[in-house]
Amino acid sequence: MQGKIEYVGKLHNRDYLIREMTENTRQFVAFVKELDCVLNRKIEPMPDQDSWQPYTEVHCWKDRAKVDLFEVEGTGHPDYQGLTWIDMLLKGKRMPHNLMMLRTNPDYYFTGQVLEPGITYVRINDKLYVHYDGNHRTAIAKVLFYFLGKTDFGLVTYHKYFVRLDLKEKVEQIRKLLESISVALHFSVQRKITARLDAPGWMKEIAEFSFTVENKRTAKKLVLKEEELVPFFYEAVRFKQSRWRRFLPRNHYTEVL
């Protein structure tokens, strides 16, 4: 135990830490894997863009931003999803090169300047991801910062998306309901940018949504606003449950069914 405490103490020295990471990598990784720390968390997969982008209400972009590395939870790169951050030191495909660069130019991780090659981070609601490239450097920086008591990394490219997961859930429920009524019914989401603010190295977009119900058999269409989704849903449920739906008087919502 005493030896373990002494070793951790030495790792708080930047030069010693880098030497252990680059020259005694395997032993260093084995030691860290015994600790109860964030470096042993698995790298989560970033959700597929097609599953959330149609429901993005606000999108912000910064060309030069700092990120808190310990908020980074995952990546869009499939090769590294499911590994832990400390695993990357041994299993990252380009890690030998990146560790060599760490040894020759350690200031890269500490200057707070624009990183070259660039790294893009994506925040989807409350979760932050490496977009695709930069996983090796993110893992190295996480290890460095964990033992040296630092958090902010960059300057990097940063995207932030506020995704309406509540709206996504409503749409999925409506689609399921309409499919149970008729395979001819199609429900789609339209996203329209209604405001955009720009400044050098910064952008913010705001979107609104509309929804279309289309009956492929009759070619009838109904366009809905967001506040009409719930009333439409209940009218469609009532229509489905009726034994005499053919004879029900149609209204604005059920005319398309």
The model's pLDDT over 199-208, given as tens digits with 9 standing for 90+, comes to: 999 999 999 9
- Report the C-alpha gap between 84 and 40 in whole angstroms: 5
Q: What is the mean pLDDT of residues 100-121?
A: 95
Beta carbons of 161 and 124 less than 8 angstroms apart: yes
Q: What is the mean pLDDT of residues 95-115?
A: 95
Beta carbons of 130 and 72 less than 8 angstroms apart: yes
Is residue 144 situated within a structural domain? yes
Is residue 256 situated within a structural domain? no
The angle formed by the CA atoms of residues 82, 86 and 90, to the nearest 5 degrees, is 90
- Report the C-alpha gap between 233 and 239 in whole angstroms: 10
121 and 199 belong to one structural domain: no
Is residue 252 situated within a structural domain? no
Categorize the per-residue pLDDT at 246 as very low, low, confident or very high, splitting at 50, 70 and 90.
low
Phi and psi (nearest 5°) for 22?
-100, -30
Count up the domains in the chain and report the number. 2
Task: Name the average pLDDT for the chain.
Answer: 94
- Report the C-alpha gap between 255 and 220 in whole angstroms: 8
142 and 169 belong to one structural domain: no
Q: Does the pLDDT at position 42 exceed 80?
A: yes
213 and 145 belong to one structural domain: no
101 and 216 belong to one structural domain: no
Predicted confidence at residue 3, as pLDDT, reads 76
| Domain end residue (candidates: 162, 194, 216) | 162
113 and 16 belong to one structural domain: yes
Predicted confidence at residue 245, as pLDDT, reads 65
149 and 26 belong to one structural domain: yes
Task: Give the tens place of pLDDT for each residue, 206-222.
Answer: 999 999 999 999 999 99
175 and 219 belong to one structural domain: yes
Residue 54, CA distances (Å) to 169, 188, 241 in order: 12, 10, 31
158 and 226 belong to one structural domain: no
Beta carbons of 227 and 211 less than 8 angstroms apart: no
Is residue 35 situated within a structural domain? yes
Domain of 228 in residue numbering reads as: 165-247
| Domain end residue (candidates: 147, 162, 177) | 162
Task: Give the tens place of pLDDT for each residue, 150-174.
Answer: 999 989 999 999 999 999 999 999 9
90 and 22 belong to one structural domain: yes
H or E stretch including 101?
Answer: helix 95-104
Q: What one-letter code names the amino acid at 57? A: E
Angle of the 14-23 helix axis to the 135-148 helix axis, nearest 10? 140
Q: What share of the chain in percent tops pLDDT 90?
A: 89
H or E stretch including 23?
Answer: helix 14-23
Task: Give the tens place of pLDDT for each residue, 174-192.
Answer: 999 999 999 999 999 999 9
Q: What is the mean pLDDT of residues 11-18?
A: 97
Predicted confidence at residue 241, as pLDDT, reads 85
Q: Does the pLDDT at position 58 exceed 90?
A: yes
| Domain end residue (candidates: 162, 196, 216) | 162
143 and 209 belong to one structural domain: no
- Report the C-alpha gap between 26 and 40 in whole angstroms: 15
Is residue 253 situated within a structural domain? no
Is residue 255 situated within a structural domain? no
Predicted confidence at residue 5, as pLDDT, reads 82
208 and 108 belong to one structural domain: no
6 and 107 belong to one structural domain: yes
Q: What share of the chain in percent tops pLDDT 70?
A: 97
H or E stretch including 194?
Answer: strand 185-199
Is residue 109 situated within a structural domain? yes
**Which of 79-83, 156-160, 234-238 has the weakest average pLDDT?**
234-238
Q: What is the mean pLDDT of residues 32-59?
A: 97
Pairing of strands 127-130, 72-75: parallel
Q: Which of 75, 214, 51, 221 is nearest to 136 (CA)?
A: 75
